[in-house]
């Protein structure tokens, strides 16, 4: 806002054409060049304004936009994976963040800070535990940019190469729960038969997709209709 030393009661207002910092770097009391100053109003003709002036203002650091991706998701237990954090200045800033990024998995640091290269940082990780791992990348900031972060979920599936019926448990109410395991996130058909040595007697009983992480799934059979029951697994 412009100021003046008008006589009390005079009617006038001020305007300016351009006000700009010399650069976009963060800092306090940075000069602003104001130009194209004019006055208008009923009493404007009684005044002769400066056409330009210098003002002071602060440019505060901002947090860049962080994007975090992995080279493969999901991965299998024991498989390596690379995480890449890319930083971009928000708004119309042309400056690019500098400094380092610290990667974390489930709240624990993955190595030390990684230096940005072209506003990107990559960390190669291995031996993440099976399950859903929360991975984050924290930009530690520089003179122009505040700390900022992003996170993602990296799935690590169990390394299961064989089909297995893990257990067959009577539930005490005439039903039986069958627990199966195969490759994670894969479709299987459970076949059932009352005669183990009669291949032609095997019939589809249930179609299921194995668990995303551990490859497990369960089915329930009503044993009140059978004296005995055999199960086997076939990939869909």
Domain boundary among 122, 157, 192: 157
State yes or no: pLDDT of 22 exceeds 60.
Answer: yes
> What is the extent of the structural domain holding 193?
164-235
86, 128: one domain = yes
- The tokens 């505060």 sit on which residue? 60
Domain annotation covers residue 174: yes
- Mean pLDDT taken over the chain: 89
152, 169: one domain = no
Q: State how far the Cα of 136 lies from the Cα of 101, in Å rounded to an integer.
A: 10
Query: How high is the pLDDT of residue 114?
Result: 97
**Burial of 122 from C-beta contacts in 10 A (0-12 / 13-18 / 19+):** middle
73, 150: one domain = yes
Domain boundary among 128, 157, 186: 157
Domain annotation covers residue 3: no
83, 145: one domain = yes
Residue 149's CATH number: 2.60.40.10
pLDDT in tens, 178-217: 999 999 999 999 999 988 776 667 899 999 999 999 999 9
Query: What's the 3-state SS for 173-223?
Result: CCEEEEEEECCCCCEEEEEEECCCCCHHHCEEEEEEECCCCCCEEEEEEEH
pLDDT in tens, 55-75: 877 666 666 889 999 999 999
Domain boundary among 157, 190, 214: 157
Strand 81-88's sheet: what is its strand order?
Answer: 65-70, 81-88, 120-125
pLDDT in tens, 28-44: 777 888 888 889 899 88
Return the structure tokens found at 191: 């076949």
């Amino acid at each position: 806002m412009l100021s003046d030393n008008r006589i009390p009661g005079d009617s006038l207002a001020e305007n300016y054409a351009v006000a700009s910092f010399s650069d976009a770097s963060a800092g306090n009391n940075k000069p602003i060049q104001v130009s194209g100053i004019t006055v208008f109003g009923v009493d404007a003709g009684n005044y002769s304004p400066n056409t330009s002036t210098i003002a002071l203002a602060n440019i505060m650091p901002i947090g860049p936009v962080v994007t975090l991706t992995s080279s493969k998701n999901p991965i299998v237990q024991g498989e390596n994976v690379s995480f890449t954090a890319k930083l971009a200045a928000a708004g119309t800033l042309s400056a690019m963040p500098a400094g380092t990024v610290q990667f974390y998995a489930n709240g624990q640091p993955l190595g030390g800070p990684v230096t940005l290269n072209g506003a990107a940082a990559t960390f190669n990780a291995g031996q993440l535990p099976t399950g859903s791992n929360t991975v984050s990348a924290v930009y530690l900031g520089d003179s122009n940019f505040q700390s900022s972060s992003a996170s993602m979920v990296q799935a690590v599936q169990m390394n299961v190469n064989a089909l297995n019926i893990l257990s067959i448990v009577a539930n005490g109410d005439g039903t039986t729960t069958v627990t199966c395991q195969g490759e994670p996130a894969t479709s299987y058909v459970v076949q059932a038969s009352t005669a183990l040595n009669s291949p032609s007697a095997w019939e589809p009983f249930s179609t299921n997709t194995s668990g995303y992480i551990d490859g497990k799934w369960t089915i329930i059979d009503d044993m009140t209709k059978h004296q005995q029951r055999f199960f086997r697994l076939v990939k869909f």
